Structure 1
C-alpha cells in the first residue's frame, strides 16, 4: 500500500485523513490497515510513534455505525496519558463523521462524571482496564455491542498488573468481535494473551522500525557521582528537551531534586502524582516551560513530545526491549536523536546484553561531572500561566490569545502553546513576559469575564 487512496475507506474517513494532514502511510500503517479493514484479528509489534494509533482508529471508525447508539469500539490503554492521546487522535480522524460520541474512561479522576457520561451509551470508549472493569461491574458500561477491541501497548498493561482485568473484560465481549493487539515487545505473556483473546490473528512486525536513528553513548560512572555526571552531560550537550528515565519512583524524585538545586528547569513524572499534577507537568514539558522531564517507564507511556532532543538512561533497564523503546522516543518521523546512558560497574552486564541482543558495539565516552554551582545552566525559554477556567466555561484558545495580544499587550511571537482542559487552561508565554502577562490577565478580562490567573 503506497497511499491512503489505495484503501477502501468511506468518504468521511478520507476527510479525517486530509484534516489530520496524513499523506503517505507509515510502514506499520501500510502493513496493518489492509488486514484491519479486511476484518481479520491482528497482533502487531509497533513501537510508540510508529503511527499505530491512526491504523486502528481508521479500522474501528470504518466499522462504526453512528446511527446505532451503543458502544461499538473499545480501546484499552495502560495509562491515562496514552488514553487521552488516543482519544484525541480518534476524534480527529472522526471529524468528518457526524454525531460520533467518544467517552474517555480512566482512573485517577472522580467516578461521578464518568458515570454521568454513560447515561447515554457512547459509540467509542477509550480507557484504562481498571476503570473500564469497575464501570462494567457497576452496570454503567454496556459492552454487548462491541465490534472492535483494541489492546494498545499490551506489554505495558501486563507490566502494570492489568492482565486479570483485561481477561475479565474480554470474557464479557461478543465472540464475533474483531480484536487488534499492539505491543512494542513480544514477551511470552503477550503471545499467551493473543491466544486467548484473538481468533487466528495475522502477525505483523515491521522491519527497520525497531532501530531508531539515534546517536547513542554510554558513560561509566561511580554510583555516588551519578547526579553530577547527569548534570555534566546536560551541560555538555545542552538539549532543548530531555527525558531522563529512572527505574524507581524514589530515584525520579532524587534526580529531580538534584537537578533543581543546580538550576535546571526539571520536574518529575511518576505514578504517585495526582492527575492534575501529572497534567501540568506534561503541559509544561510540551510547551517548553520545562527542559528536563525525569520519569519512570510506566508514567512515560503515552508521552508524546515532538522533536524530543535527548533521552537519558539514568539507569539501564533490565529488559533490552525497554532500552530500545526508551531511546526510540528521540527519533521520530525520520529525525535523528541523542541517547545517553549512565552505567555503574554493577550495570556493565546489562550494557553487554545490549551488545549481544542487537549485534552492535557500544560507544563509550567520558562524562565530566558538573560542579556544585555550574555556570550557564540552560533555562527554559517559556513559562506557563494557569487560568482557572476551561471548556466548561466555553473558553477557547482564541479567547486566551486575544486577551494576551489585546489587554496584556503581548506580541504573538511571545505566546506559545495553549491547552484547554474542562475546568482550567494553560498558556505558554516568553519567560521574561510571564509575570507581566499574568498580572494583566488578572486585572483585565477574558471573554468578558474575570478569572484567576497565576504562573506555575
Structure 2
C-alpha cells in the first residue's frame, strides 16, 4: 500500500522541508489517520503503540497552530514520565527548528523547581511535562494556560495506571474550555473512554492495530521451573546474543535480584526500578540507550516512557497477568521494520496467562526448549561502547557539538566512533567505541571543551 507523503498535507513549505531534512518523507499509519483531523483543529483520540510516529503527529499539529510572535503558552503536552517528556521535547524542538525564537520548555519532577520558574518568567510557546510538576507550577502561578490552544495527553493509559487521574483533572481545570484536546493511548480501556468523554468535544477516533502479526517480531514461550528462571535468562542471552535486551520483572525485588545474578555471571546489566534516585535512573537509561550496557532489568512502572530505538529483545522473566501489559512490553522490540525477539518464561502454574495472551492476540503460542545453563562468572559479550562522564552541561553552555568537535578535531577520532551524547544541566555523557575509549578519555582530560578544562572520567559501571 502506498503511504501518503507529508507534502500532500496543508503544511507550510518550511515545515515540509524541515521534516524532509529529518529523514521523514512518508506518513506512518497513525500520522496518515490522525494528522488531517488534527490540522483541521478537531479533537482526536488515537490508539497507537510507542514508536508508531505519534509524537510527530501531534508535534506537527501543535507547531502548525503556533503564533510565535505571541510569547505565551499555546500548547501543553502531558507525559507519564520525565524520560518520555524529554524525548517529546527533543522531537518537537527538531520539528520546529525552522522557526526562529521558538521556546519549548520541559517541566518535570526530579529536578529543581526554581530554574523552571525563572525560565517561565521569560515566557514559552510549548510546555512538555509530567502532571505533578505542571500542577505545581499552576498552583504557584508560575505557569498560566489562559492562551492554550492545544492540550495533548500522551500515553494517557500509562498516566492513569500510575494514579495521575486527579492530577490530570486539576491541570485541565486551569485550561480554557475552548481548545483542541488530543489523546494518545496504547490501549483503550473504559478509563480512557471516560477521560475522552469528560474532556473532548466530538472527538475523531483513530485506531491503528497495536498487535504484532509476525514478520517484525518473533514470539517464543519457554516452560521453566520457577527456581531456574535466572538460569533460563542467562541461556537465552547467551544463545541469542542480542545487543540490547530489556528483561521485565513483576516486582522491584525480583528486578534487583535478577540484575545482580546476571552481573555476577559477567553480563553487562543494570536494574531500573522505582527505588532509584533520579540521577541514578538518568545514568542507567543513558548507558542503555547509548549501547554501553547490554541488558536492562526493569519493572513495568519504571520502564514506562522508555523509548529505546533498535531494541533487539524483550524477555519476560515472569509473564504479566494482563495480556495488554504483555503487548506493551513486547511492542518495544521489532520496530521500524527491524527484527525483534519476545522471549517469555512460564512455569506450569502460569499457563493460564499464556492462554489469555493467545486469546487476546489470536495466535497459538510457539514453545521452545531451553538447554541447561550454568550460572558461573566469565566476561560475556562486552557492549560496543564505553560511557565517559563530563563535569559540564547546559549551565556551562556545553552542547553535543562541542564534545563531538573536541573528540574528532583534537583527538582525531572518527565521528562514527562516537555514539550518543547526552547533555544535562551540570554534566554530560558521551558514548565512545570501546577501542577508542582510552584515547577519548585522555583527549577530554588533557584538552579543552569550549576553551575550558573539565573533570572527565569513565563511567563507574564500564
1:265-414 correspondence runs (5 A): 265-373=268-376, 377-405=380-408, 407-408=410-411, 410-414=413-417
Given the alignment, which residue of 69, 72, 83 partners 2:71?
69
RMSD: 1.8
Equivalent residue number for residue 248 of structure 1:
251
| Counterpart check, 1:202 vs 2:221 | no
Q: 1:430 Cα deviation (Å)?
A: 2.5
SS at 1:330 equivalent: coil
| Counterpart check, 1:451 vs 2:450 | no
Q: 1:245 Cα deviation (Å)?
A: 1.1
Q: 1:374 Cα deviation (Å)?
A: 5.5
TM-score by length of 2: 0.94
Equivalent residue number for residue 55 of structure 1:
57
SS at 2:142 equivalent: coil
Equivalent residue number for residue 231 of structure 2:
228
Matched pairs, number: 456
Query: Contact 1:50–1:209 (CA<8 Å) still a contact in 2?
Result: no
Q: 1:440 Cα deviation (Å)?
A: 4.0
Q: 1:52 Cα deviation (Å)?
A: 0.5
Structure 1 residues 232 and 449, CA gap change in structure 2 (3 angstroms): same
Query: Contact 2:48–2:210 (CA<8 Å) still a contact in 1?
Result: no
Equivalent residue number for residue 161 of structure 1:
163
Gaps of 5+ in 2: none
Q: 1:390 Cα deviation (Å)?
A: 1.7
1:69-108 correspondence runs (5 A): 69-108=71-110
Given the alignment, which residue of 405, 428, 431 partners 1:428?
431
SS at 1:244 equivalent: strand
Tell me how far apart the structure 2 counterparts of residues 399 and 318 of structure 1 sit (CA, whole Å).
48
1:174-185 correspondence runs (5 A): 174-185=176-187
TM-score by length of 1: 0.96
Given the alignment, which residue of 245, 254, 266 partners 1:263?
266
Deviation larger for 156-165 or 331-340? 331-340
SS at 2:405 equivalent: helix
Query: Contact 1:181–1:194 (CA<8 Å) still a contact in 2?
Result: yes
Structure 1 residues 165 and 398, CA gap change in structure 2 (3 angstroms): closer
Equivalent residue number for residue 125 of structure 1:
127
Query: Contact 1:244–1:293 (CA<8 Å) still a contact in 2?
Result: yes
Equivalent residue number for residue 40 of structure 2:
38
Given the alignment, which residue of 182, 194, 199 partners 1:192?
194
Gaps of 5+ in 1: none
